[in-house]
Structure 1
């Protein structure tokens, strides 16, 4: 274990910043338990950081920041049951390769893979696909250390209610040290990208969702164009994945979009034309590769993001209202809206708790004004019973959240029991909890 003092920290977007009094780098489970036990009497806050890919101040603290980058790797693989226990700080991209070496994979992933597994599940991170809930639903066991320094193990059979509360807990119950996952046999995906009109996409939406393993689309504001993305399992050999393709994805697409984004930052009146240009540049594309290598998209252009979950049946109305409001208010935005779909689950603070869901994410280029745009779109989400993604910006506080999460009070009961002194509560979490 090593410590650094007054080391500045900022999240991936650069919007959330802090200078903790100390940053503690943990490499052993006992070190983590000892640290928490000692601080339980001294007071907090004590916050843990993964990859800093949340857009909210979940990690922000002026006190002690705990870095779990030393908690990496596979602890145990049960080949017969297909279960994998991993250290909480393991990054998703590394986890994919580790599982692949054993002929296994995660059943679904999002389009960013730099997060730690603990950070991803604690914030409700998800992918897309009508049959798949969020990543936390793949978790079949958790080990974490609560605010008194006690170690808890929970799963479906041992402390099942605690398990359903702890899988998406925002780090408010304690610090996760181990995660046990149910994996599936490794599989390959055939990815297709195509351009379509928004009206045609919405007209064929049910077919797109239910006839593809994974489906999502991007709508470009001020245009009638969308990019469709479909993925389905295949036995074909990997193709179109060489260095030429990687150069195109990483260098050409990202840096070209960065140049256009910088142009919009300096000349905001060009946002609408740039969005239309990006829509026109969407072309047909397809490739085959192993699943964990296809889900993720390189993201070199940094942005601020808000994402809400809305009931699947409300999705067309929400998109129509966003489209209408964008045209009326003429927001200076050129990033597309990302639309994804997921199955319900029973995890208490999961945005997909007990409902068929659609996720809509809005983005704004870093260093461009985003508040007016996000607040206006958020009002539409809230009108349709929207629930925020915990790692993305939102303005809600405890009273509003209690109305949207049926198990909110039960969750709070566990939090008070496991962290009676508020060791893990920073100002952001206190606002969320109305404390």
Structure 2
């Protein structure tokens, strides 16, 4: 017997049943996907699907060469044929925008797009943080005003309501202003950090000259007082940026969406400007951020397109479903409506024909395969969770009848085959 090969650490199998270290099931995931499809459609967003492998330069240019994502976490390799440097995508926005620019989707037409799929980062695996993780992303391209910022935030709040977890999430917002305002603030911030360099940890010292805003987002308790006293970006914003931010807040107030202003909220990627936001929870331990996003008005131009105001967000499916599984509500129906049993010569073919007829009426039918006693098959029907068992024996086959057993009430009836659907529907309604 060959040696067993295990999955790569931090990359999980999605099974019909919960695993010891990974509680999410395929049925829960599928139910979530159905909710997402209906939710995005209700807001007029169209789906886009992109490859999981892209040229490394796409992420260097969009996310930033000095970020931890590009510098430490990407899975990068050389293509053996043409020596291109390729990477597994660490996030979805860059791939989405690359496709938009490449296929000229913004020609005289703004776009509202969404996507869902796996992303890859080489991080230390822990609950809610995996090396292969999955995201739903929503991108609104070609819209400059704060109204679409408010719509995206309201859209995310609507999803929390649909999943029954709204009360467990807190919205945090901030404005990063425009490029010139951030440059001015950056200079003041670096000067401030240099005055406190003796207390900075190694991560903060490294980030001080590459991405100083991230120093303010430190989780190190010893640096909190220093971070609180740092120059605030909001104090460097001009009237146009402040007006955008004020209007967004007014719209959120009008929509009844509560929020917390967090001047230290900066997000982890370089391309954000103006509005940034996160939805956080206290129910997942260290992995507090479930959803985050913001504006990236200069990114499409950076990727070779025309200047286009844009905003988007992404949510982590694993983290979100862990929250839903424990506190929310998501209808998961993985059991068949009818479990079909059969015994006797030729009855398996008859059972399959009856099953096909019932499936055409919209029912989910599980047909038993193999030769077992009816008693053994009934045990499997009970354990399947099906509400109704259909029994095809030699007598039923000869008489062109079907025996139905209600596995909840234990009522049993033999009816003409053409009447089976009507009785099944009556029992399902009861």
Q: TM-score, normalised to structure 2's length? A: 0.23
**Larger strand fraction of residues:** 1
**Larger helix fraction of residues:** 2
Higher Cα Rg, which structure = 2
Q: TM-score, normalised to structure 1's length? A: 0.23
